Amino acid sequence: MTTANLNGHLRQAISALESGRFKDALHTCGGILSQQPNHSDALHVAALCSRQLGNIGDALSYFERCIKSNPRQPAVLGNYANALNQAGHYAQANSAYQSANALDKHNLDVLYNWANLLNLKLNRSHEALALIESAILLNPKQSRLFVCRGNIRRAQDQFEAADLDYNTALKLTPNHVDALLNKGIAYRAAGNPAAAIEFYKLIIDVNPENSGLWFNLGCAYYDIGDNTQAENCLLKALDLSPNFVPAHNALNQLYWVSEHDDKFMQSYETARQRRAYDEHLFLAQALTLSNAKRDQDAIDILYEALRYFPDNANLLHSLGAMYSKTSKSANALELFEQALRKAPDNSRYRIDMANTLIVQGDCARALEHLDHAGQFAPLDQEIWAYKGTCWRLLGDDRAGWLNNYERFVDARLLDVPEGYDNLQHFMHELRHALLSLHKTKREPLDQSVRGGTQTLGNLFLVRNPVIQDYQTTLKTRIRNYIDALPTDANHPFLNRKMQHIQFSGAWSVKLISQGFHTNHVHPQGWLSGNSYIEIPKEITPEDASQAGWFKLGQTSMQLAGREHLAASYCPAEGMSILFPSYMWHGTNPFSSDQPRLSAPFDVKPIT
């Protein structure tokens, strides 16, 4: 093929890419690459097409070949970073954006996407803010840049500043969808869903066909406990977009916690009747069924999905996870191997493979998978939880180094804020405030609670004085704990010790008789904790069975004689317990007519 012919074929491939004919473009690139395997432009177009077709592994391979042929291509590096981000390889994506920016500091796409990665995936909002502000200086007329800055400020709980950014975006581009959506989300995040509802109503009057708006309006109604309006809005969102997975998830969560079992899971079947065949919809349906303890139904759905999407890595992995959950380890390992052949760097696949190997007793192989996963998800606390379990089972001293329960677990009574007579008075007022927020009839589908209820949203955004007093006294408690920690650059908990911290989640749990928390960790956390507000009289330090106690060390893997109870604490009213998020923890069931009320939270460092 002559140079002129190659250039002609490349123009055809680019034209097909731009018109959305990705398979045609990829086929044309294949012809070029058969003649010139290192043709940089053809490799780049092939990578972009593969990504659009959902073949993320092929896309990354093409990008890497393209960069190897010519490493000084900022646009290619930026697109490669986007693909890494899509694949969940956040640390690598960060490095690729950094390389692209070093070659071209004026590339707005790189700055924008890099800032979003740092803010949304790596919890580095301060760095994200500096990047997006540099982009705004380069071009103060792009609405998306102000939306991005608003989202970063919202993540920092700077809601007024975020609102100003969304308003600036709307001045530049009236009816800018992302600005409108995120402005409403900011109202909800600030603990004012009523304002979000009024705002979304105004938008829907002028843009009634936007499924995202109906979804967010439904979530705001859910926040205020208006389940009828929430249901109507979510159904409207799905009528407009049958494949809208977040709306399916929210709607079925609503049905579950309100015990509308007759409607639970119907939305997925309705979507299928409208020929909405989508990989992510099948995955969401299977996960919801699994959370509802309908494991065989989940397995059946995944097999149905594989008829439409044969050899899909996500579906193979999810089916393997279901077999692992149902104690069919051999089937699970085979499916995980198939998924990993297609996406060898997927950290989720590696973690679940390690889980199954630990159950089978092969901790050495499990550690290999966990080490690999850690290269791509270094902050995932689940990786360290499983590593700690492997080290303990292997008799490795690193188990004690990682899970130093005596040093890292801190249980003590909260200080009493000003305005309260004593701790008992403070807990009495906090109890009334929290109980008013427990409006559901059943535990959430996707949490560790069994036999009880959990509040919605971020507890600390509730505009109630006693809840704000709780947050204030808790901040002091946490600050003192962190300041007392040693510094150790080699330890996965201590090396993230920072001056600036933020609550990444706070909620309340009300357990009733026989209720408990399954053993779990907090994968996206750093420091976790729980405060006890009301404790039944049956839960006592003298109880040899430790009913209702908080426990550490036992896993969710049902290792029988290989499990290990590392520490346990009898909760007391006003006690607050702090511990690293990767530590396995749960509670024992109890019997009482009185509920067990607590207020857990997660904290993350801000860089």
How many other CB atoms are found less than 10 A from the CB of residue 145?
Answer: 25
**Residue 160, CA distances (Å) to 132, 142, 170, 187, 469 in order:** 18, 20, 15, 10, 22
- Which band of pLDDT confidence, cut at 50, 70 and 90, is reported for residue 458? confident
Residues 382-403: tens digit of each pLDDT: 999 999 999 999 999 999 999 9
Asked if residues 148 and 112 have their Cβ atoms less than 8 Å apart, the reply is yes
Residue 164 burial (CB count, 10 A): 15
Residues pairing with 450 in the sheet: 516
Closest CA to 434 of 507, 513, 505, 535: 507
For 602, the enclosing helix (H) or strand (E) is strand 596-605
Residue 537's contacts (CB-CB under 8 Å, 6 or more residues apart) are: 592, 594
| Band of pLDDT at residue 447, cut at 50, 70 and 90 | low
The gap between the terminal CA atoms of the chain, to the nearest Å, is 53
> How far is 196 from 220, CA to CA, in rounded Å?
7
Q: What confidence tens digit (pLDDT) does each residue in 139-154 have?
A: 999 999 999 999 999 9
**What pLDDT is stored for residue 302 in this prediction?**
95
DSSP state of 562: G
**What pLDDT sits at residue 66?**
95
pLDDT tens track for 209-235: 989 999 999 999 988 889 999 999 999
- pLDDT above 70 (res 202): yes
Task: Count CA atoms within 13 Å of residue 254 on its CB side.
Answer: 28
Say which residue the tokens 């010139």 belong to: 36
Q: Is pLDDT of 601 > 60?
A: yes
Q: Is the pLDDT of residue 163 over 90?
A: yes
Number of H helices, E strands in the chain: 27, 10
Comparing CA positions, the residue from 554, 592, 582, 588 lying closest to residue 569 is 588
In this prediction, residue 53 carries a pLDDT of 86
Of the pLDDT bands very low, low, confident and very high (cuts 50, 70, 90), residue 443 is: low
Confidence of residue 599 (pLDDT cuts 50, 70, 90): very high
Average of per-residue pLDDT values in the chain: 91
Whole-number pLDDT of residue 396? 96
Considering only CA atoms, which of 248, 196, 170, 153 is closest in space to residue 502?
Answer: 153
Residues 6+ apart with CB under 8 A from 153: 129, 159, 161, 162, 165
Residues 6+ apart with CB under 8 A from 493: 402, 408, 526, 580, 582
| Number of Cβ atoms within 10 Å of the Cβ of 15 | 13
Note the pLDDT tens digit of each residue in 59-98: 999 999 999 999 999 999 999 999 999 888 888 999 999 9
**Single pTM value for the model:** 0.83
Tens-digit pLDDT profile for residues 346-386: 899 999 999 999 999 999 999 999 999 998 888 899 999 99
Both structure tokens of 122: 């790596």
Two tokens at 368? 């290999």
Alpha helices in 459-553 (DSSP H): 465-484
Percent of the chain with pLDDT over 70: 97
Predicted pLDDT at 446:
61
Where do we find the tokens 């860089």?
A: 607
**pLDDT band of 259, cuts 50, 70, 90:** confident
Q: Please name every residue paired with 412 in a beta bridge, in sequence order, or none if there are none.
A: 576
Q: Is 287 helix (H, G, I), strand (E, B) or coil?
A: helix
Least confident of 320-329, 441-450, 479-488, 511-520: 441-450
What are 510's strand-pairing partners?
Answer: 453, 597
Q: Rounded mean pLDDT of 438-458?
A: 69
Amino acid in the structure at residue 498: M
Question: Could you tell me the two tokens for 281?
Answer: 């919809």
Nearest to 387 by CA among 403, 407, 376, 375: 403
pLDDT at 448 over 70: no
pLDDT at site 422? 96
Q: Where are the alpha helices (DSSP H) in 141-192?
A: 143-155, 159-172, 177-189
DSSP H stretches of helix in 104-142: 108-120, 125-138
C-alpha distances in angstroms, 282 versus 202, 241, 306, 325, 337?
Answer: 34, 15, 9, 18, 21
Per-residue pLDDT at 444: 63
The span from the CA of 239 to the CA of 500, in Å, is 44
pLDDT at 189: 82
What is the arithmetic mean of pLDDT over 186-209?
86
The size of the chain, in residues, is: 607
Mean pLDDT, residues 413-425 taken together:
95
Q: For the chain, what is the radius of gyration of the CA atoms? A: 26
Percent of the chain with pLDDT over 90: 67
